[in-house]
Amino acid sequence: MCANILVAEDDTKQAELVRRYLEHEGHAVTVVEDGRAALEEVRHREPELLVLDVMMPRADGLDVVRILRAESREVPVLMLTARSTEDDLLLGLDLGADDYMTKPFSPRELVARIRTLLRRNRRSAAPTPVPAPVPVPLEDDVLSVGTLRVDPVRHEVSVGGRPVECTPGEFRILTAMAAEADRVFTRQQLLAELHGFDKYISSRTVDVHVMNLRKKIERAPRRPVRLLTVFGVGYKLTDPAKGARRASS
């Protein structure tokens, strides 16, 4: 699966290491050293994937992703970052990055993740038959967990009647969990809902999506009552009113 890949990295040694590994896989690689150059290359050459360092001169990686998504450019982006705090990771995914790796990283794992992103992107870009008309959803089609409602047909989410905007990944996780409320999902099971099972995508991606969902559907994200952690296992979606009733009985 050969592709035209753009690497934006201002560390010369790091960029050369990534280039060698990718070229060994048969990819055509272009390297730039700052954010503005990365933007120009994407606009003019339209690479199939962008490996993007966060800390770069003339526009950092987060700004690059923000601008590309604002321009409706859908090139897959894998971010490389020395930052590993929760807020940094959430921000990168919120802006539209497809995956991330924290430094230092294994070049072989990087290549594997790129392979997965390219495969997924080519599947989604493949022509599909014209779909049949979407039926008007019945009440039974809407998934309800307490005041949380997920409409798989209209691709809508609300909490207590308040609309909630979700990314495609967040929506897929929420739909799977709402369909089986109170079931405990492992990270790998939720990962399969996101991309189809692939051992090279980090389960940390699921954690980031869950933390982001909590910010949207919980009144107090740090003290969740809907989207709960089951320690040592994974996550479950529940109706907080049921828990309150059990506690009072």
Per-residue pLDDT of the chain (249 residues; tens, 9 = 90+): 688 999 999 999 999 999 999 999 999 999 999 999 999 999 999 999 999 998 888 888 889 998 998 888 889 999 888 765 556 666 777 778 888 888 888 888 899 889 888 887 776 555 555 555 544 444 457 899 999 999 988 889 999 999 998 877 788 899 999 999 999 999 888 887 776 544 445 667 788 888 889 999 999 988 999 999 999 899 999 998 876 555 444
Query: Residue 174 is encoded by which pair of tokens?
Result: 């929420």
Q: Peptide bond before 104: cis, by omega within 30 degrees of 0?
A: yes
Q: Which residues pair with 79 in a beta bridge?
A: 52, 100
Cα–Cα distances in angstroms (integers) from residue 188 to residues 161, 166, 197, 236, 244, in the given order: 31, 21, 7, 13, 30
State the Cα–Cα distance between residues 176 and 183, nearest whole angstrom. Answer: 10
What pLDDT sits at residue 249? 46
Alpha carbon dihedral 182, 185, 189, 190, in 10-degree steps, equals 80
Among the listed residues 115, 79, 103, the one whose alpha carbon sits nearest the alpha carbon of residue 195: 115
Prediction pTM value: 0.58
Alpha carbon dihedral 215, 220, 223, 228, in 10-degree steps, equals -50
What pLDDT sits at residue 206? 83
Cα–Cα distances in angstroms (integers) from residue 71 to residues 17, 33, 48, 67, in the given order: 30, 22, 16, 6
Q: Are 11 and 55 in contact (CB under 8 A)?
A: no
Contacts of 214 (CB under 8 A, 6+ apart): 221, 224, 227
Coil vs helix vs strand at 62: helix
State the Cα–Cα distance between residues 141 and 181, nearest whole angstrom. Answer: 15
State the Cα–Cα distance between residues 171 and 143, nearest whole angstrom. Answer: 12
